């Protein structure tokens, strides 16, 4: 008789479990939450209020170290072009410590014309602008009646650098180095190939290239013409725009005479 009652009870329990399982309940639940990870806080003493929870925040990551100033201390920068060319090839901070594949500017001080580009060409060898863009520039100068040997060639970067972050480099001091370079070259006129260069020369980015007509630095004023980069001059529209600006800038015959 007892065995029969136990069998009935076991059957009832099994039936109840199967009923709850069919209803979607397969775990046991309790009204009180269990702190599985964080230990339970001690209960306050009688008459005391439970302290307010303290918010826990992760400590912010440390700020990145400041980028070394390009060129270092301006007080020790070269004071003439010959020293500047050597410094251009050897100063580590000009290119994040890299010295390979640097191309020095070429030309003498006081040239009738200085051309300033963003960076050397990938095809450049020992001389700046000796690749395809340099050949295009030489053809343009010849059409303008200017001897290339009398033109100072300079760049903003020391080597060919794909997709350079010019604004970040400007914040690190590249603009000061560029202005010092032009000041030492002291050309009679300056053509800037590439709008990215203009902020480095002190032009407000909100201003158009047409509004910048001269380079002013340390009491020296140099007439300036800002045009598209040489890579864009393969387009007929860019060439036409350049010639219009050049004729408006004018007096190409005078520069040609000075170059002879």
Nearest CA among 137, 129, 164 for reference residue 227: 137
Please enumerate in sequence order all residues whose Cβ is within 8 A of that of 249, keeping only pairs 6 or more positions apart, or say none: 223, 225
Q: What is the pLDDT of residue 54?
A: 66
Instruction: Give how far Cα 103 sits from Cα of 88, 126, 136, 218, 220, Å.
Output: 8, 6, 19, 27, 27
Dist CA 225 CA 246 (whole Å) = 8
Q: What is the pLDDT of residue 2?
A: 52
| Side-chain-side CA neighbours of residue 173 (13 Å) | 15
Residue 147 burial class via C-beta count within 10 angstroms: exposed 0-12, middle 13-18, buried 19 and up:
middle
Dist CA 175 CA 170 (whole Å) = 5
Q: Report yes or no: 101 and 159 within 8 Å, Cβ to Cβ.
A: yes
Residue 249 burial class via C-beta count within 10 angstroms: exposed 0-12, middle 13-18, buried 19 and up:
middle
Q: What is the pLDDT of residue 253?
A: 44
Host H or E run for residue 220: strand 220-227
pLDDT in tens, 116-165: 999 999 989 889 999 999 999 999 999 999 999 999 999 999 999 999 99
Right CATH for 74-259 from 3.90.580.10, 3.40.470.10, 2.40.30.10, 1.10.540.10: 3.40.470.10
pLDDT in tens, 13-59: 777 777 777 776 666 666 666 666 666 666 777 767 766 666 666 77
**Is residue 115 over pLDDT 50?**
yes
Q: What is the pLDDT of residue 85?
A: 96
**Is residue 252 over pLDDT 50?**
no
Q: Three-class SS of residue 88?
A: helix
Higher pLDDT pick, 69 / 208: 69
| Side-chain-side CA neighbours of residue 239 (13 Å) | 11
Q: What is the pLDDT of residue 34?
A: 65
Dist CA 109 CA 107 (whole Å) = 7
Dist CA 116 CA 41 (whole Å) = 70
Which structure tokens are listed for 184?
A: 């030492």
| Side-chain-side CA neighbours of residue 7 (13 Å) | 4
**Is residue 98 over pLDDT 80?**
yes
Average pLDDT over residues 220-239: 91
Residue 191 burial class via C-beta count within 10 angstroms: exposed 0-12, middle 13-18, buried 19 and up:
buried
**Region class of 173: left (phi > 0), else alpha (psi between -120 and 50), else beta:** left
Q: What is the pLDDT of residue 30?
A: 65
Average pLDDT over residues 61-88: 88
Q: Report yes or no: 229 and 193 within 8 Å, Cβ to Cβ.
A: yes
Q: What is the pTM (predicted TM-score) of this model?
A: 0.70
Which of 79-93, 194-208, 216-230 is most confident? Answer: 79-93
Q: What is the pLDDT of residue 256?
A: 44
pLDDT in tens, 160-200: 999 999 999 999 999 999 999 999 999 999 999 998 999 99
Nearest CA among 146, 166, 168 for reference residue 155: 166
Higher pLDDT pick, 27 / 103: 103
Q: What is the DSSP letter of 219?
A: T
């Amino acid at each position: 008789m007892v065995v029969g009652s136990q069998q009935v009870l076991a059957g009832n329990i099994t039936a109840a479990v199967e009923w709850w399982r069919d209803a979607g309940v397969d775990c046991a639940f309790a009204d009180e939450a269990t702190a599985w990870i964080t230990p339970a806080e001690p209960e306050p003493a009688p008459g005391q209020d439970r302290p307010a929870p303290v918010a826990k925040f992760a400590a912010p990551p440390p700020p990145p170290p400041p980028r070394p100033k390009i060129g270092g201390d301006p007080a020790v920068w070269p004071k003439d072009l010959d020293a500047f060319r050597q410094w251009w090839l050897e100063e580590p901070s000009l290119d994040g410590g890299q010295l390979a594949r640097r191309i020095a500017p070429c030309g003498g001080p006081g040239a009738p014309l200085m051309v300033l580009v963003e960076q050397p060409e990938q095809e450049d060898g020992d001389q700046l602008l000796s690749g395809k863009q340099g050949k295009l520039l030489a053809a343009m100068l010849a059409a303008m009646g200017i001897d290339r040997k009398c033109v100072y060639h300079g760049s903003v970067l020391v080597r060919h650098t794909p997709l350079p972050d010019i604004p970040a480099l400007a914040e690190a001091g590249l603009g000061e180095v560029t202005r010092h370079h032009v000041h030492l070259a002291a050309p009679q006129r300056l053509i800037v190939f590439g709008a990215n260069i203009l902020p480095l020369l002190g032009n407000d980015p909100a201003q158009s290239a047409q509004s910048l007509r001269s380079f002013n630095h340390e009491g020296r004023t140099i007439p300036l013409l800002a045009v598209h980069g040489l890579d864009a001059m393969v387009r007929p529209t860019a060439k036409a725009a350049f010639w219009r600006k050049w004729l408006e800038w004018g007096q190409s015959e005078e520069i040609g005479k000075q170059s002879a």
